[in-house]
A and B are shown apart, each in its own frame.
Chain A
Amino acid sequence: MFPTPIERTSRSWQISYQTLLPLALILWLLPLIAVAIFSFKPASDFANANYWGWPSSFKGFTNYALVFTGSDMPQYLLNSVFITVPTVIGAVALSCMTGFALGVYKFKANIWIFFMFVAGNFVPFQILMVPVRDLTLQMGLYNTITGLVLFHIAFQTGFCTLFMRNFIRALPFELIEAARVEGVAEWRIFWYIVLPLMKPAIAALSVLIFTFIWNDYFWAVVLTQGVESQPVTAGITSFNAQYRAAYHLMSAGSIVAALPPVAMFFLMQKHFIAGLTLGAVK
């Protein structure tokens, strides 16, 4: 362990570390804490320039209720759910298959197909922007949730394939060989042997992709417009235009928009971190 384990240091070191920890955290999260406090303040506090003082009265419930009843936020949230959930399912399903094919079978083009997915996953979005927007328009899917979902699935398949393939490669290959000797059909090997072993990878990828897609802003702006199909990230910016000086409502709206991935992270923390750090640790 590095640095020296705290229990092996002097008493004074231990105490200073214990006090430094919360201080550092508050400093680190200061902008967020400020927004959280903003969201509890009454409008009058901002009119009276009481920005950083304590809320003069607690208006948290009023502010959050207004976000849900007095704005388009619920629709945006719903759109985000309808965009994110099918994308996660689609991308994970496709990449279970590609990952299996690339991880288990030896054939000539294997590494090149793998590199195609990896390289495609790294490209700047802008090189895809005009053609993808045009494709979506031509298919009549511009400004629809379906159009956004289809693109997201395709693009995320790059990253997911990289992830799945590396995961499958680390599985014990003897299991697959033994099944082959038994004469088990290849698709049955996938379904009954490999897929059950992939559960942790599926969980890790699902939370990760959920966060990526929920937080996507660029493609939301390029492929959709308006309340009926835009996700919450794009919604919050139009919310911003609508309530420019209403900092209490903006804060409450931002927190509502940020909450689902945060909740996901806390519920699935182990998997989330496993997903992010795949390959970082051997």
Chain B
Amino acid sequence: MADAGAPAVSRHNKPVKNSWWHKNQQSMTPWLFLAPGILFFLFYVIFPIYQSFSLSFYSWDGLGEAEYVGAYNYEELYWDDAFYTSLRNNLIWLVMYLFAIPAGLFIALFLNQTVTGIRLYKSLFFFPFVISQVVVGLVFTWFYDPTFGLLNYILGSVGIPPINVLGDENFVTYGIIVAGLWPQTAYCMILYLTGLNAVDPEQIEAGRLDGAKGLRMLWHIIIPQLRPATFIAFVVTIIGALRSFDLISVMTNGGPYGESRVLSFYMFEVALSEYGFRMGYGASIAVVLFLIMLVFIAYFLWSMYQEEKAR
């Protein structure tokens, strides 16, 4: 609010240099504060998205002249078996990764007690999320190792012959996902632990009086109250599943025979590995991945918008 009768001298006895600024201060300030952030973001995030889209219509080795090839890259994708393998694995990731949500809820319920040292237990359970996926990948590679891995040691003790999880095309993707579920479950667990803190004890008492307990209590009284936590868990798990790259790169490098590739890894391989620098083809794979992600992004934004409106 600019008050019309303001003296030309401010409260600090400095003359007001620019009355235009004084009048427009409130409408201009947000833009000045936003400018650096927006420029950075446009330059490094928004503009590159547009560039990838246009690049997907070119054939380019990253150095020479880019050649316009129309929809050729997409046509090639259509006939590319490796693309379908990656797409299939992406779907497996999406579906299996969601298992982190109930698993996280289960551990959170298990730890939601007040006994001595429980705080330390909670933080130790969260451990896997804090360490890098590169390290997680290495650790699980050893865990699965067919000659000395702990997994086969355990299997052997119950009489099951060793399985080369990461060398078997039928097991490899599932093996990597299990490694990924480890930190992801820890993440969901923390979300639910915090959510459980905010659960209304009165509603629980009311439920108890109505005779609800155990699973019925969980389903009808607790889970509805955990909705915000579930929403965030869902968002981060979907994003995490579609972004999976580190574990695949570290554990199998896409193998065996490319059977553990996902779109994000295949794209990297096509564009930046020894198989050749096919930037345009890589970009078209990235566009497909982006469009899949866009479905979820649109849904998340829509939910956020509904919530904004309700405020």
Residues of A within 8 A of B (CB): 1-3, 5-7, 17-18, 21, 24-25, 28-32, 34-35, 38, 49, 51-52, 94-95, 97-98, 100-102, 104-105, 107, 110-111, 113, 115-120, 122-135, 150-151, 153-155, 157-158, 161, 180-183, 185-187, 190, 211, 214-215, 217-218, 221-222, 233, 236-237, 240, 247, 250, 254, 257-258, 261-262, 265-266, 269, 273, 276-277, 279-282
> Which residues of B, 62-121, contact A by the 8 Å Cβ criterion?
62, 109-110, 112-115, 121
In Å, the complex CA distance between A52 and B150 comes to 8
Question: Do residues A240 and B138 form an inter-chain contact, with CB atoms below 8 A?
Answer: yes
Question: Do residues A25 and B121 form an inter-chain contact, with CB atoms below 8 A?
Answer: yes
**What are 21 of the A-B contact pairs (CB < 8 Å)?**
A1-B196, A2-B112, A3-B109, A25-B121, A29-B128, A31-B139, A115-B301, A125-B243, A126-B267, A126-B268, A129-B267, A130-B55, A130-B271, A154-B43, A155-B45, A180-B1, A182-B11, A186-B26, A215-B132, A217-B134, A282-B228
CB distance from A194 to the nearest CB of B (A): 11
We find that the number of chain B residues with CB closer than 8 angstroms to chain A is 105
Question: Do residues A32 and B139 form an inter-chain contact, with CB atoms below 8 A?
Answer: yes
Which of B48, B110, B228, B242 is close to A280, meaning CB atoms less than 8 Å apart?
B228
Residues on A with C-beta less than 8 A from B142 are 31, 34-35, 38, 247
B171 within 8 A of A: no
Residues on B with C-beta less than 8 A from A25 are 121, 124-125
Known pairs A1-B204, A2-B196; A276 contacts B11 (CB<8 A): no
CB distance from B95 to the nearest CB of A (A): 18
Nearest CB to that of A6 among chain B residues? B113
In Å, the complex CA distance between A186 and B305 comes to 28
Which of A120, A217, A237 is close to B41, meaning CB atoms less than 8 Å apart?
A120
Most buried by B among A120, A126, A161: A126
Question: Do residues A269 and B47 form an inter-chain contact, with CB atoms below 8 A?
Answer: no
In Å, the complex CA distance between A12 and B246 comes to 45
Besides the known contacts A125-B264, A130-B62, A277-B232, 11 further A-B residue pairs in the complex with CB atoms under 8 A apart: A2-B199, A2-B217, A18-B115, A101-B29, A107-B27, A127-B52, A155-B45, A183-B6, A187-B29, A257-B132, A262-B131
Residues on B with C-beta less than 8 A from A52 are 148, 150, 153
Nearest CB to that of B132 among chain A residues? A215
Known pairs A35-B139, A126-B289, A127-B49; A2 contacts B245 (CB<8 A): no
In Å, the complex CA distance between A214 and B131 comes to 9
Residues on B with C-beta less than 8 A from A100 are 33
In Å, the complex CA distance between A52 and B153 comes to 9
Nearest CB to that of A250 among chain B residues? B138
Question: Do residues B10 and A183 form an inter-chain contact, with CB atoms below 8 A?
Answer: yes
In Å, the complex CA distance between A133 and B52 comes to 12
Question: Do residues A154 and B41 form an inter-chain contact, with CB atoms below 8 A?
Answer: yes
In Å, the complex CA distance between A32 and B125 comes to 12
Question: Do residues A280 and B113 form an inter-chain contact, with CB atoms below 8 A?
Answer: no
Question: Do residues A236 and B134 form an inter-chain contact, with CB atoms below 8 A?
Answer: yes
In Å, the complex CA distance between A97 and B30 comes to 9
Residues on A with C-beta less than 8 A from B46 are 116, 120
B174 within 8 A of A: no
Known pairs A32-B139, A102-B34, A277-B190; A2 contacts B222 (CB<8 A): yes
In Å, the complex CA distance between A1 and B204 comes to 7
Question: Do residues A6 and B115 form an inter-chain contact, with CB atoms below 8 A?
Answer: yes
B229 within 8 A of A: yes
Residues on B with C-beta less than 8 A from A157 are 37, 40-41
Question: Do residues B135 and A258 form an inter-chain contact, with CB atoms below 8 A?
Answer: yes
Question: Do residues A127 and B48 form an inter-chain contact, with CB atoms below 8 A?
Answer: yes
CB distance from B203 to the nearest CB of A (A): 10
Nearest CB to that of B264 among chain A residues? A126
In Å, the complex CA distance between A185 and B29 comes to 10
Question: Do residues A254 and B139 form an inter-chain contact, with CB atoms below 8 A?
Answer: yes
Question: Do residues B195 and A101 form an inter-chain contact, with CB atoms below 8 A?
Answer: no
Which of A98, A101, A186, A273 is close to B25, meaning CB atoms less than 8 Å apart?
A186
Question: Do residues A124 and B143 form an inter-chain contact, with CB atoms below 8 A?
Answer: no
Question: Do residues B282 and A281 form an inter-chain contact, with CB atoms below 8 A?
Answer: no
Residues on B with C-beta less than 8 A from A35 are 139, 142
CB distance from A95 to the nearest CB of B (A): 7
Residues on B with C-beta less than 8 A from A102 are 30, 34
Question: Do residues B114 and A5 form an inter-chain contact, with CB atoms below 8 A?
Answer: yes
Known pairs A120-B45, A280-B194; A127 contacts B150 (CB<8 A): no
CB distance from A94 to the nearest CB of B (A): 5
B8 within 8 A of A: no
Residues on B with C-beta less than 8 A from A183 are 6, 10-11
In Å, the complex CA distance between A24 and B30 comes to 51
In Å, the complex CA distance between A278 and B138 comes to 31
In Å, the complex CA distance between A155 and B222 comes to 36
Mask: chain B, 187-201; 1 = CB below 8 Å from A; 0 = not: 100110011111101
B127 within 8 A of A: yes
Residues on A with C-beta less than 8 A from B163 are none
